[in-house]
Amino acid sequence: MAEMNTNNPQSSRKGGTRSKKLSTRVDMTPMVDLGFLLITFFMLTTTLSQPKTLKLLMPAKEDHQPPSLLAESKALTILLGANNTIRYYEGMGNDPAHPPMVKNSSYANSKGIRDVIMQKRDQVITRSGKNDLMVLIKADKSANYRNVVDIMDEMLISHVERYAVVDITPEDVAFLK
């Protein structure tokens, strides 16, 4: 038990007798118990930081429908490589007779990939009357995770409703070199 004693030393005065004062004893055990109960209560009732996750929407599994065809004029392909390199071309680039014109870009706020995406989105809206732009994001094995998250943030900022992270082809790997 914890206690607190407050004894007064005997005075050195000579003369009459004084009444004897008893020491005050304060038991600190209940206060310590209360402190631990409060600490336990607050530890159990607080919410810990929630993990930050990226929302991922997967298409429904329907095997009986063929995949929809994507018009070349409504597609933009973005290639992510090592050392924060980013390249892009219009269309899907799957026609070997007419290889795409691959252009370089950056993550800069002005004259970067955001301007390219916004310009392509505006072209698609002007042609079709609705936001039908489809962005294909292809990351190389040497691209880092931050670049993928940054390009997905650009999709959100640019109001691109349809985008997909797809596997990179050997032709696209050659475009990154």
Q: How far apart are CA 165 and CA 143, in angstroms?
A: 13
Residue 107 has pLDDT above 90, yes or no: no
How confident is the model at residue 132, as a pLDDT? 85
> Is pTM beyond 0.85 here?
no
Query: How is the chain split into domains, by residue range?
Result: 72-175
Instruction: Decide: 141 and 82 in contact? Cβ < 8 Å.
Output: no
> CB count, 10 Å around CB of 50?
6
User: What are 89's strand-pairing partners?
Assistant: 77
Q: What is the topology classification, in CATH, of domain 72-175? A: Nucleotidyltransferase; domain 5 (3.30.420)
pLDDT tens string 37-86: 999 998 888 877 777 777 777 767 766 555 567 777 888 999 999 888 99
Instruction: Decide: 163 and 153 in contact? Cβ < 8 Å.
Output: no
